[in-house]
Amino acid sequence: MIRIISYLVITIFGVAVSLAQVKTEEVLLKNGVIELPGTLTFTQEKSPLIIWVHGSGNVDRNGNQQPIIKANYIKQFRDSINKKGIAFYSYDKRTSNIKNKESLLKGVTFLDYVTDLQKAITHFKNDKRFSKIILLGHSQGSLVAMLTAKEVDQFISVAGAGMSADKVIIKQIQEKAPFLDSITQAHFKELAKTGEIKEINPMLLSIFAKQNQSFLSSWIQFNPSKEIEKITIPTLIINGDSDLQVKITDAEILHSSNKNSKLVIIKKMNHVLKKVNTVTENQSSYLKADFPLSQKLIETIVNFVNQ
């Protein structure tokens, strides 16, 4: 009887949380002249807060990238996590906000993304409405979050690379264009040594174009498998087995580098966190928001946050 009553109490509480009104606040953070508008949503105070840390590209607070990517996966995640009584904050990445266009002409470094995140962490550490702060780093954002994890309470890596960016790119070249392997490695060595590449192989311009070099140079300085070793807060590492961009082996590398972390591989989840059954669905899920988010992802994160 006691078990039945306990179950009913938990169930009723869960329904009450899911029906609670979601409060929405627009939050404009600034990093110098860079504007980072974002959205905070929560159902109640004294709840845990997840801060989302974006992956690569001009990703906005909802998980879309102009003009093609319209997956809306961050918005779907926000709605799902709020129903579980967890607050959520995401901001437009500096590269997605047209108001930053002039400032971005001066270039972007990897550490710019780190200092942007630090602005968000500082803002919410000063906001006493939330019980704790959790960083969720997605894709490239996993490494960004690692570099600031000592300032928060919990860390979640979703589809984070296990190797430094140069090794990731070299591996991709080896798989797709092995004839460019040696020159790619040579370019990265030159970039690491001098900070620039004087003569770029025309076939590698999309990677090593002049405007990309300062960012690449700053990015390859950090090895995720080394950075995650330094993290002492509770850590959860997640990867989908249908991810076309980041493989399960990357998650395993991160997990092996931090023995205190928890590793979860989610079946049929792709890089934009959608549940997909075929390669066609996988590709289509980037272009429209019709595909459902992985519910196993939500369950896993809720259990971790509430532990």
Domains and CATH numbers, the chain: 2-164+222-305 (3.40.50.1820)
Which pLDDT value is given to residue 20?
75
| pTM as predicted | 0.91
The rounded average pLDDT for each run of 10 residues, N- to C-terminus, in the chain (307 residues) is: 50 52 97 97 97 96 93 97 98 96 92 98 96 98 98 98 96 94 97 94 94 94 97 98 96 97 98 96 94 97 96
Q: CA nearest 124: which of 260, 25, 272? A: 25
Express each pLDDT in 218-257 by its tens digit: 999 999 999 999 999 999 999 999 999 999 999 999 999 9
The reported pLDDT for the residue numbered 149 is 97
Nearest to 27 by CA among 35, 17, 16, 19: 35
Q: How far apart are CA 234 and CA 307, in angstroms?
A: 10
pLDDT of residue 255: 98
By 3-state DSSP, what share of the chain in percent is helix, strand and coil, each rounded to 5?
45, 20, 35
Give residue 3's pLDDT.
Answer: 53
Spatial distance between the Cα atoms of 270 and 285, rounded to a whole number of angstroms: 9
Phi and psi angles of residue 180, each rounded to the nearest 5 degrees, phi first: -105, 5
Give the pLDDT confidence score for residue 12 in this predicted structure: 46
State both tokens at 68: 């093609």
Return d(Cα 160, Cα 139) in angstroms, integer.
4
Q: What was the pLDDT predicted at 106?
A: 87
In the prediction, which pLDDT does 9 show?
Answer: 47
CA nearest to 44, candidates 22, 16, 75, 25: 22
Q: Determine the 3-state secondary structure of 114 from DSSP.
A: helix
pLDDT of residue 118: 98
Q: Tokens for 261?
A: 């972390």
